Amino acid sequence: MVGVVDVLSALAEPTRRRIAEALRLRECTVSELVASLGMSQPAVSKHLRVLREAGVVTAHVRAQQRVYRLEPGPFRELDAWLAPYRRLWTHHLAELERHLDAASGPAGADEGGRQG
């Protein structure tokens, strides 16, 4: 099983994120990715190899072409790994909102605290 760190490392590179974004929309061949990204075939293939090794994408053969698609498993693992951080920040943002609401006083009050 590939780890979250491998997935994060693979997706840290902007071009690989662009490839993942293209594959999020639909399965693509290397030629389709080359055309949509405006990159050379060897460069796209190099990035696909990294994504494949991290388990982010898989390929199947259709006729004489390899068709790439995203694999949901690594994204689920990444989502599970991020969950406690999301909860932490949701809590902190809720606390900040409460603090700001308390600091601003009643709705519609002017700076002196008088209703306007």
Q: In this structure, is residue 93 part of a structural domain?
A: yes
CATH number, position 10: 1.10.10.10
pLDDT per 10-residue tile (average), the chain, 116 residues:
81 96 96 96 96 95 94 93 90 88 72 53
Q: What pLDDT does 112 receive?
A: 55
Q: In this structure, is residue 73 part of a structural domain?
A: yes
Q: In this structure, is residue 112 part of a structural domain?
A: no
Q: In this structure, is residue 42 part of a structural domain?
A: yes
Q: In this structure, is residue 21 part of a structural domain?
A: yes
Q: In this structure, is residue 110 part of a structural domain?
A: no
Q: In this structure, is residue 2 part of a structural domain?
A: yes
Percent of the chain with pLDDT over 70: 89
Give me the number of domains the chain comprises: 1
Q: In this structure, is residue 111 part of a structural domain?
A: no
Q: What pLDDT does 113 receive?
A: 53
CA distance 47 to 92: 37
